[in-house]
Amino acid sequence: MRGLSLIALFSGAVCIALSPIWVRVSEVGPTASAFWRVLLAVPLLWVLFFSLKTSGRKTSLPPLPYLLAGLAFAGDLAFWHWSIQYTSVANSTLLANLASIFVTLAAWALWKQRPSRLFLAGLAAALVGTGLLVQASLAGSSGTSPTALLGDALGVVTAMFYAWYLLQVKDLRDRGAATLQLMAVTTTITAIILLPVALASGEPLLPQTQAGWLKLLGLAWISHAGGQGLIAYALAQLPAAFSAVGLLLQPVMAAGFAWLLLAEPLTPMQCAGGVVVLFGIYLAHRGRDGK
């Protein structure tokens, strides 16, 4: 069972690592691709929810926690997809993974859960790594866009929204929401929120070719439903601290995919910043779990 869970964890990380590639090659705009990412996943998630639902506990929760989770996830996707358009896949994905640090900082501010010294050391390291990534953007080395620094900033905003989403998910899970129930409901709410945003953005909303639709299906089914589903399965079987560190495979694989498929260069400063960010997140996870 542990071996299968490990395979699910790493496979899920690889599936999610493909998402910035789908976004970059999409025939629609960033906000529109975020909308299709969740809308096309909605039918699949509801089918899985009703077909795999057991006779176990049934939860009836108030709509507000689901609404807040959907709002947070909508912000996460919208800002991340724009970040991917402006900066490199490596920078955008690494900075979005700062979410775990923001979660602990939020717990400190809201619930007075004082972080350990090891967490603070990890935070310091992650900030140093972020500074190196920003320097790479200022040097024009993190991508072809002259607005790469804006993309880096949007990556940090993404981490804040994702941290909010994770806190809402934890609240829902503590209240008894099942994984598929949570994914199906919040994904549906996210799609409803993103529709008017995509329409108002003025971006191309519909792909022009069959290949364009296949790319959106890959984003929705492989990266969103498949990646998140595999990780949710693994998290139920593996220790949280190990799982969090294992998911650091995601930004590494995303950078590798961008190098192989999009020919995005990885400069020495960018690589150094990425390694320091990953090390900082690793220390923060260990410090958060009191190890």
pLDDT of residue 144: 47
Which are the contacts of 21, defined by CB distance < 8 A and separation ≥ 6? 89, 254, 257, 258, 261, 262
pLDDT of residue 281: 76
Distance (Å) of CA 242 to CA 5, 10, 87, 132, 237: 12, 12, 30, 27, 11
Q: Which two tokens stand for residue 232?
A: 């949710």
pLDDT of residue 205: 93
The domain segmentation of the chain, as residue ranges, is 2-288
Verdict on whether the full-model pTM lies above 0.95 = no
pLDDT of residue 141: 47
Query: Whole-angstrom Cα distance, residue 233 to residue 110?
Result: 29
Query: Whole-angstrom Cα distance, residue 206 to residue 262?
Result: 23
Q: Per-residue pLDDT tens, the chain, 291 aa: give them.
A: 667 877 888 898 889 989 999 999 999 999 999 999 999 999 999 998 888 765 444 567 788 999 999 999 999 999 999 999 888 888 888 888 787 778 777 777 777 777 778 878 887 887 788 777 777 666 654 444 567 888 989 999 999 998 898 888 878 877 888 878 888 999 999 999 999 999 999 999 999 999 999 999 999 999 998 887 787 777 667 665 556 666 677 888 888 888 899 888 878 887 888 888 888 877 876 776 555
pLDDT of residue 55: 44
Q: CA gyration radius for the chain?
A: 18
pLDDT of residue 230: 84
